[in-house]
Structure 1
Amino acid sequence: MVKMAITAKIDKLTKTTKTANTLKELNRSAEENCKKGRISFKVGKFEDALAAYGEAADAWKEMADMLFEKGKEARGKEFLDKNLETISCYGMVLFKLERYEEALEIVDSALELKPENPTEWSNRGFVLSALDRNEEALEAFEKALAFDPKSSKILTSQGIVYFRMGLLKKALETFDEALVIEPGKASDWACKVPRFSFLSRNEAPIMKPDNAETWYWKGNALLELGEKEKALNAFRNALENDHEHLNSLLSGGDLLCEFAEYGEAFKCYIRALKLSPGNEAAEKGKEFCEEKINE
């Protein structure tokens, strides 16, 4: 009887050890794949990111199921949350791959579980806009703002939809609202850093408001309205905050060419080519400026 009891304890201990080792290995694999997914996404290797996030999500789901089976609800929920976060990333990779319907299915599934999550509502807005369902996209961004009214990024995304719908004044109002919010987070920086010059070779400051994209889209809206001087100033502001904002360099260069400021435009295209070697628009702009400068 005693021998049987000891054997049972040993078996139980062995199973517990195996479970702990399995959980440890699954967690290690999930963390590594999630890191790989983030890096792959950042450098534009979306197929690799998709595979990595998929493996990470599967591993965390398996961990959650194992823990729930053992009655460890709190720990199980912790890894289930990680699973859901990773699935959300998986959905955004599908978005980048232009697999919009699949991405929308994932976003909607996430919203069933987290209906008050502003990130998922914002993601839904991105996908719906890509599907040219702009009215629904605006509704999604409104939902996101209801839960996070001070998000400049969500406001900017909403403004982009207005821009694409041709509602330029509404787009400008939305971009301005976003710009009012964002600089307040780095007001000290705004007071100390000199304005960007297209000719400047200075590195961007480490501390900066994250509103380059907002200024860029505001510039586009102003350009559509024929406000070229104001548009150029908007692109300058974008580059004050992110001197490597490629689209602002290209758009700024194009406008400077229109103003016959070929020297400054040339510098824009050179910088753009350093960021994006072989960029066709930058190459053409650079060649055009060289011709004009040498006339």
Structure 2
Amino acid sequence: MPDARSAPSPEGITATLHRRVNGWFAAHGRDLPWRDPACTPWGILVSEIMLQQTPVVRVLPVWTAWMERWPTPADLAREPAAEVIRAWGRLGYPRRALRLQAAAAAIAESPGGLVPADHGQLLALPGVGAYTAAAVACFAFGQPEVVVDTNIRRVHARLVSGRALPEKSLTAAEMALARDLMPADRDEACRWNAAVMELGALVCTARSPRCGECPVADLCAWRAAGMPEPHYRPTGQAWAGTDRQVRGAIMALLREEGPVPVAALPRRTQESGRLGSHRPEDAQLDRCVAGLLADGLAVRHDDGPEPTLSLPG
């Protein structure tokens, strides 16, 4: 365990720390389109949904195409669900696409048809959870909400708690720490959220932190404690052979080829090349198809010569 005396307490975090991290961000933060002052709250909401569990490099081209095609919530709300799913492409977790469209529909039906600035109203939108509501309120409307993602939690864990990694899931103690670390000034607090997130993404990374580039390395409790090993062993998320991989292969067929005979799925998913050497058993295919149907990502048609599966709408 790290020596608590070496860890700066929340009360001891000074304006110097805030100035350093925010200054680093001003000099080294990535030039991303959703950070442009001209980006609309809708563009920021779209980016936050897309960035969930998906790296920036994969999101950038899809976000750009979406904003050109659907620059307002009403534009997306009017689109057939099949087109929305196709446009989502290979970002993964395609339920996010339908939830984003449901949020767009709710916004379009509201007075003014604009993304709400109120945190509570944001939280009430379909598919918008606590993190996304706080992030949109902060980054789109300048409200000093406490924004806590994995990158921010990791920086806080090392800088203040002296641990290599945050807890496996967000805890009340981590949220309290994040609140304590927020600058008092409204504008500075919003920059702080973005800056710490960027620091975790670019410098204070999970596997190979670049401490030599960190603007607050001398204040880091983890470094002061000798950079101890994580208090648990992280496990990567499996992919090969999982239902997620099989679902992804089925969705790719539906996006690229249109309706697919249900009986042909075992052969077509294998021929697609998206499963590698994995050969799903009938039970796994049936389970994945049932899940896609339940999630509204696919529709079964039994009115033709043979049952087929297609995208909805």
Q: TM-score w.r.t. structure 2 length?
A: 0.26
The structure carrying a bigger helix percent of its residues is 1
Q: TM-score, normalised by structure 1?
A: 0.27
Of structures 1 and 2, the larger Rg is shown by: 1
